[in-house]
Amino acid sequence: VSAEFVNRDQADAWDGDEGRHWADNARRYNDAVAAYDEPLLAAARIQPGDAVLDVGCGCGFTTRAAARVASAGHALGVDLSTPMLRVAAALAADEGITNVDFARADAQVEPFALVDVVISRFGAMFFADLGAAFANLGRALRPGGRLAVVGWTDLDRNEWLTAVRESLAAGRDLPAPPVGAPGPFGLGDPDRTRAWLAAAGFRAITIDEARRPFRLGADADDAFGFMAATLPVRGLLEGLAEDARPAALEQLRAMIRAHEAPAGVHLGSSAYVIAAIKA
């Protein structure tokens, strides 16, 4: 466990209310982005004997998937969130996976033991200093080791975020999260990502866009109930006058209903699959 945490705001959020909501709704949050596991794991090319590090592992779905592939090796999931790590360990025990461990650490500064593969599913874009963080992940990889991470591209290509924001804007001009800076779009500028990786000693850097459905729920009622309780939605509502909130929620419900289909409620999403080899 790390002695040092430099990502204090992230630690406060993920070790607090945000992390608790994710831990309480672990499977739903996983279902939302599980369609990205296939391109992530394809890029990681995990071998049976590999040691794998999963950065920002959350409730550990990708860590456990990696451990299943590294059947004669090992997977370590690290995250800032105590409640999410607790769920991750409990699910591993339920599933009888023994070659997996979870630890609370700030991946930007933790002095990791050497591994063969570093993976991250939407957990490597919040670092306060993205360049320093990738340098640290580079130090964690043996020469020839592989990095594979996925992160959102930009706001315009991510309907799961634009549609929710538009539904709840209620006439407000909401500030867009920056691209290529800490946050959901921290890995959204391929030029910057390439520069950080090259400076961190990576070669054979590839950045490919993947578009996958983002799952909100099994049907409109299910999706609305979940979405209305998420912290970003609650935050957008709290910024509105109290008498404007019911109409905004109705907009959200209507948007969700418009995306309902027999297979569930899905919105469009787009992420970069970033792969590189440690020189």
Task: Check residue 37 for interaction with ligand SAM (CB under 6 A).
Answer: no
| Residue in 21, 23, 28, 33 binding ligand SAM, rule: CB under 6 A | 33
* Cα 70 from Cα 57, distance rounded (Å): 16
Quick one: which of 81, 138, 74 has its CA closest to 106? 81
CA distances from 43 to 94, 98, 124 (A): 28, 24, 16
The alpha carbon of 99 is separated from its chain's Cα centroid by a whole number of angstroms, namely 22
Nearer to ligand SAM, 73 or 186 (CB): 186
* Cα 168 from Cα 202, distance rounded (Å): 41
Q: Show Cβ contacts of residue 72 under 8 Å, excluding neighbours closer than 6 positions.
A: 48, 49
Total residues at the site for ligand SAM (CB under 6 A)? 24
Do 60 and 92 touch, CB atoms closer than 8 A?
Answer: yes
Task: Check residue 80 for interaction with ligand SAM (CB under 6 A).
Answer: yes
| Residue in 29, 102, 214, 224 binding ligand SAM, rule: CB under 6 A | 29
Task: Check residue 154 for interaction with ligand SAM (CB under 6 A).
Answer: no
C-alpha triplet 167, 173, 179: angle, nearest 5° = 95
| Residue in 40, 67, 75, 78 binding ligand SAM, rule: CB under 6 A | 78
Task: Check residue 31 for interaction with ligand SAM (CB under 6 A).
Answer: no
Question: Interaction with ligand SAM in 221-240: which residues (CB under 6 A)?
Answer: none
* Cα 34 from Cα 271, distance rounded (Å): 12
Task: Check residue 259 for interaction with ligand SAM (CB under 6 A).
Answer: no
**What is the closest distance, in whole angstroms, from the C-beta atom of residue 28 to ligand SAM in the complex?**
10
Nearer to ligand SAM, 122 or 224 (CB): 122
Task: Check residue 58 for interaction with ligand SAM (CB under 6 A).
Answer: yes
What secondary structure letter does DSSP report for 4? -
Stretch that binds ligand SAM, among 88-96, 120-128, 158-166, 262-270 (CB under 6 A): 120-128
Task: Check residue 107 for interaction with ligand SAM (CB under 6 A).
Answer: yes
* Cα 178 from Cα 155, distance rounded (Å): 9
**How many helices, marked H, and strands, marked E, lie in the chain?**
12, 8
Nearer to ligand SAM, 64 or 121 (CB): 121
**What is the closest distance, in whole angstroms, from the C-beta atom of residue 224 to ligand SAM in the complex?**
21
Task: Check residue 122 for interaction with ligand SAM (CB under 6 A).
Answer: yes
Task: Check residue 99 for interaction with ligand SAM (CB under 6 A).
Answer: no
What secondary structure letter does DSSP report for 123? -
Do 1 and 103 touch, CB atoms closer than 8 A?
Answer: yes
Q: Note the residues at the interface with ligand SAM (CB under 6 A).
A: 7, 10, 14, 29-30, 33, 56-58, 61-62, 78-81, 84, 106-108, 121-123, 126-127
